[in-house]
Amino acid sequence: MKHLLVLLLAIPLAVLAEPFVPKVDAEIVQRLPYRIDAAERQRRAALSRDPAQLQLAVATARAALQRARVHGDPRELGAAQAALAPWWHQADAPADAVLLRARVLQARHEFEPALAELHRLLAREDLAPEHRAQALLDAAALHQLRAELTEARTLCEQLQPLAALPATACLAELASLSGQGQVAAQTLAQLSPGRSTAPWLALMRAELAERLGNETTAPALYRAALAGEDEVYTRAALADWLLARQRAAEALVLVERSPDAEADALLLRQVIALRQLGRDASAPTALMRERLAAADRRESGKHAREQARFALDVEQQPREALRLARLNWAMQREPVDAVLLLRAALAAGRDGDATREELARVLRGKGWQDARLAALDRRFDRSFAP
């Protein structure tokens, strides 16, 4: 639901374990995949002169969050928070500031504080309809991320009179996680008649098609989403689809050709693709290991999804991968998290039996349908049937 609700892809912060100090001023530290345009520079300069300009601060924070989402650059989260500094701890801050505050918190995996912000905002009786709609969407996304589908559905139903299209898409995605995948796919397809599909909707349909095991529709929709807006999240999702089918050469080209190839999410896929191809991956592996270690020192446990994937697919440490995947599952429970947990449990052998059985009970109770789960564990595929 991140793509529908314009929520950020949380990625480990791209910093090294030790600070790097260039020897000369002309030495290049890093090449950024994008540049801040003149208008943005002027906006930041004006805000630095007068930080209390709410509309300017909101525009600056929103632009920073957009760049973080598209490019996978978590440094922009700091820029967004800096713009909102006068209202960061203000309980009765303006609605725009609260919404953006919650977005920053969500992107940092601070899900409980983000939800608290949104529910306090929704409790305001004088909240404008457009702010209420966005708060409902963002809160629904966070509840869905935690597999709290009843709570998410209630919020999406409240959204219907305010924003029919996103509410319908929201309810369809929740239905797809409750044993109604085919019906949900038809509903989402009807929301994009004709040949053009909004990138967020194409991505939502692609992920559902993958869960339903549609080998033709899923990659076509992933590419349609990527053509509309080249986001790190979308490119990583398509790379994962290719890697799962042992098409590592295509996945490698996909991530290396991205203008954001240095983003952690794409660097991780690059390492996995190189290993699948039997090629030297020592340099990017070392860099990825440093980034994950630095992120864990700074925010322990907040990046367990990426750490588990690295331990499983790169370090080949199934027990550690299982520990991390369980830690991640305690925080967020999206379909990709269930797949990761099952992969780790199966790789861990008998040490993962209890986890696999527990996961089967949870997903059976929710009615989840996911062809990937059944394919991973053919011997017990009935456990993952709704």
Given a cut of 50, whether residue 75 has pLDDT beyond it is yes
**pLDDT at residue 36 is higher than 80:** no
Confirm if 269 and 236 have CB atoms less than 8 A apart. yes
Task: Please give the radius of gyration of the chain, using alpha carbons only, rounded to the nearest integer.
Answer: 21
Q: Which residue would you say has higher pLDDT here, 17 or 264?
A: 264
- Mean of the pLDDT values across residues 2-22? 38
Q: Can you tell me the mean pLDDT for 39-64?
A: 85
Banded pLDDT at 300 (limits 50, 70, 90): confident
Average pLDDT (151-170) is 97
pLDDT of 13 higher than 50: no
| pLDDT single digits (tens) 244-282 | 999 999 999 999 999 999 999 999 999 999 999 999 999
- Residue 52 identity: A
Whole-Å CA distances, 22 to 75, 154, 224? 20, 53, 41
Whether the per-residue pLDDT at 7 is higher than 70: the answer is: no
Residue 216: the pLDDT is 95
| CA 316 to chain centroid | 24
Chain centroid offset of residue 358 CA = 25
> In angstroms, rounded to a whole number, what is the distance separating the alpha carbons of residues 365 and 386?
7
Helix (H) or strand (E) holding 53: none
Q: How much is the pLDDT for 1? A: 52
pLDDT at 203 (0 to 100): 96
Q: Which H/E stretch holds residue 160?
A: none
Query: What DSSP letter does each residue of 215-239 carry, written as one string?
Result: TTHHHHHHHHHHHH---HHHHHHHH
pTM: 0.87
Q: Which residue would you say has higher pLDDT here, 303 or 248?
A: 248
Please, what sign has the CA dihedral across residues 98, 104, 107, 110? negative
Q: pLDDT averaged over the chain?
A: 88
Q: Could you tell me the two tokens for 71?
A: 């490019």
**Spatial distance between the Cα atoms of 352 and 141, rounded to a whole number of angstroms:** 30
